[in-house]
Chain A
Amino acid sequence: MGQNTVEPSITAAFGFLTAVDSPSHGLFGGYLLVDVAGRPLEFHCTAPLKVSRAQQILYGATLHSHLHGQQIGATLLAEGTLQPQVVLTDLESMLHVRPHTKLPVALVVRRDTPPNASSFFVGTACVSPPSDHPEHASQLRAQVEMLVASVDLCEPFERIRAAIEEAQRH
């Protein structure tokens, strides 16, 4: 792991942040904190946010970044009692949470073409560190190495979605 190695700790937490748009209920946010073996430590989810047509028009192209970044992302990250090493999200618009948190937030996607040059592949996932925070890149890489030994980085988002679907049925 070289010089970037982060001191491993069995109490280290990793955050997974995403949102689920339900046509019937609205927009839900979910934030899962797992340990280094991928087991859940905390889960936070929002009540659904409903956006009116007028709000959609007024916010225009900025709507998703506002909802994901400020309304959902920032709210959820503030609820966590554990301090994660890194917060991973699978939604590009969720990266707008960065101005509202001191935590490093990175994008994880399953796709062939990564969004920026400092990205790296982990199995079938591609991790993109924040381009405006280059100092986070090397640290992020080391942290991901710690987690990836036990967790497929895209898999916890499926858990969050399953939990939110369950919440809708409940």
Chain B
Amino acid sequence: MEDPLIQTPLGSAVPGRMRSWHLAKCPLPAVHVLPVIAPRFSRPARLRLPVDSATPCVMRVPLIDQRPAVQSYQFRHAPVPPTPWQNISPPASHVCISDLASAPAPASAAPKPKRTRILPPRDVVKLGERFFFLLQPNLETILETSHLEFPRQPFPFQFDGMAFLMPRHGAVLADEMGLGKSMQAISSLRLLVRSGEVRRVLVICPKGLVSNWTREIADWAPELLVAVVEGDPQRRRWQWSLEDVPVKVANYEVVVRDRELVAELGLEFDLVVIDEAQRIKNRSSHTSQAVRSISRNRSWALTGTPVENSAEDLVGIFEFVAPGHLSDSMSPRAMGAAAADHVLRRTKDRVLKDLPPRLNRDERIELTAEQRETYRRAEEEGVLRLSKMGQGAAIQHVFELILRLKQICNFDTATGESAKLECLEAELDEIHASGRKSLVFSQWVETIGRLRGKLSRFGALEYHGGMSTAARDETIERFKHDPRHSVLLLSYGAGAVGLNLQFSQYVFLFDRWWNPAVEDQAINRAHRIGAVGAVTVTRFLSVDTIEERIDEVLRQKRDLSDMILSQAEATPGAGLTQSDLFALFKLVPPKRSAA
């Protein structure tokens, strides 16, 4: 009887008598291979296979013993310097330390509070610098641990705005009016000053907003010393030279006037913030050149209307923010894509769901009979004159006619009658009785003066560029705190920007401005953060007059800004061109002045 076969670890079978070292020493003349399943055979079949005596190949599997390469980065302290340990107050969300036995129920079901990360801008290319931003704690944690107090808790979108501004050397904060652009800029620069990244800041704003800025800085960054550059040349020289004041505020006119002085003093700023940045949209203007000539490391532009008339406006602003980044030859879509990382724009309807609504109504006014007659005569004479001028007609001639007709729509130049005023008085009676406040905007200081006389029973106050800054500030305070004054009459030029009048619930546009963006700015003095109720906006529009025709053109123009900022193609001719103006009177512009 043959030895039974046994299975080797390799899976082959050998006779059972072979054991251990025998197995190794045995010449192994043959290997018996058994099929695993052989149901047809009564006993296992045997195959005889010759064995190759050559040494088998050995495959080497390396151990994982090579340490990986390591890249190391060390960071400077930023964005806020260390706070002494004993001053750190625990944030509410994660302070409770408890043993298992006394552990509260896991808070996983509770909604996580929003945390804002400071992400690196696209133009930061070095990996170490990108890590610097990515590895920072979120903004809320930075603020919690740095003990910076704010007059009120910023909205989440305002944290986003700060996280946008802080890492950027060139930025356009283009939020819709009323969303707190100045507050976001001040809070961001405050953090940068605290971290030592910024030491010298210059804020440039329209003259009428200087006191507004100093007030806002006092609210949102009370520890920062501020110097307002103003007064006679000697005083300004001294103010420019102040070294231990981290923030200087100057208006655009001062910057233009002191352009050479700033250069002579060799002033360099870590950060220059320009408010109402549309002021520098015209690159060849003295204002734009003076602002751009200031030596600076960071450039932030704040504007609610980055594109007022055409895409070139944005190019002009970018010459300050990131020179050469945009060009006039770009299509709106390409421009939007190129600007995307530098521009942040939010609108109230998207970020402020809880803001009271803005109710718009167009009040179509029929001129009085006398007004109509005066208007008809003026238009006929004007058009006739323009027609006679032929190729000699210039844009200023058209403007003159438009202004004259618009003034008649406000007040009949012959009789002083005003259908608009009658309507306004009726509205104000009701509003005054309810104890609410109203803003009335007009293009003309003269109109404002007339209205004030007629609306004295409402305690109407004036606010326009013909007043001193101190007088204007005093007017705002009186309107704000004295209940006898329920109407504030403002000019678009002085009152449309920078003022916080959110305690007013009614806005009247007595006449229309040339640009819807300026009208929006005016309306947003009342319809902004802090508004206590719905804001009703009434736009007076004289029926069958130049006002109606202008309104039609402005409707086409209104969305141009949004189209560019959303990278959409702009419709051609959306702006109010010279051709548009001539077309208001069905005239063809002369060839030399055609737009």
Contacts and interface: CB of A to CB of B under 8 A. Distances in A.
Given A149-B88, A150-B91, A122 B134 contact: no
Contacts of B127: 166-167, 170
B131 interface: yes
A150 B100 contact: no
Interface in A127-155: 141, 144-146, 148-153, 155
Given A123-B95, A149-B90, A54 B134 contact: no
B75 A41 contact: yes
Contacts of A79: 70, 72
Interface stretch (B61-69, B328-336, B364-372): B61-69
A146 B145 CA distance: 13
Given A8-B85, A46-B68, A49-B68, A37 B145 contact: yes
Contact of A38 (B75, B97, B98, B141): B141
Contacts of A52: 61
A149 B146 CA distance: 12
Interface stretch (B101-109, B294-302, B422-430): B101-109
Q: Dominant SS at the A interface?
A: mixed
Given A37-B145, A123-B107, A124-B107, A44 B71 contact: yes
Contact of B90 (A40, A47, A125, A148): A148
A117 B100 contact: yes
B93 A29 contact: no
Given A41-B75, A119-B100, A32 B135 contact: yes
A46 B97 contact: no
B238 interface: no
Given A10-B85, A39-B136, A43-B135, A148 B97 contact: yes
Contact of A58 (B61, B115, B132, B138): B61
Nearest to A80: B72
A162 B74 contact: no
Contact of B94 (A32, A43, A123): A123
Interface residues on chain B, size class: 35 or more
A122 B62 CA distance: 43
A10 B84 contact: yes
A166 B82 CA distance: 27
Interface string A2-32: 0000001110100000000000000001001
B145 A150 contact: yes
A155 B138 contact: yes
Contacts of A10: 82-85
B145 to A, nearest CB: 4
A164 to B, nearest CB: 10
A144 B68 CA distance: 30
Interface in B88-131: 88-91, 93-100, 103-104, 106-108, 115, 117, 127, 130-131
A122 B100 contact: no
Contacts of A49: 64, 68
A109 to B, nearest CB: 11
B90 A71 contact: no
Nearest to A42: B74
Contacts of B75: 39-43
Please indicate which of the listed interface residues A29, A46, A51 has the most CB atoms of chain B within 10 Å of its own CB.
A46
Given A55-B64, A71-B68, A163-B134, A120 B93 contact: no
Interface in B247-283: none
A162 B144 CA distance: 22
Contact of A121 (B61, B100, B146): B100
A152 B64 CA distance: 35
A122 B96 contact: yes
Contact of B72 (A44, A58, A120, A146): A44
Contacts of B80: 37, 39
12 contacts: A8-B85, A9-B85, A10-B82, A37-B88, A38-B145, A39-B78, A66-B64, A75-B70, A81-B74, A111-B106, A120-B99, A148-B95
Interface of A: 8-10, 12, 29, 32, 34-49, 51-52, 54-55, 58-59, 66-67, 71-72, 75-76, 79, 81, 110-112, 114, 117, 119-125, 141, 144-146, 148-153, 155, 159-160, 162-163, 166-167, 170
Given A121-B106, A152-B94, 4 more contacts: A36-B82, A117-B100, A123-B107, A124-B108
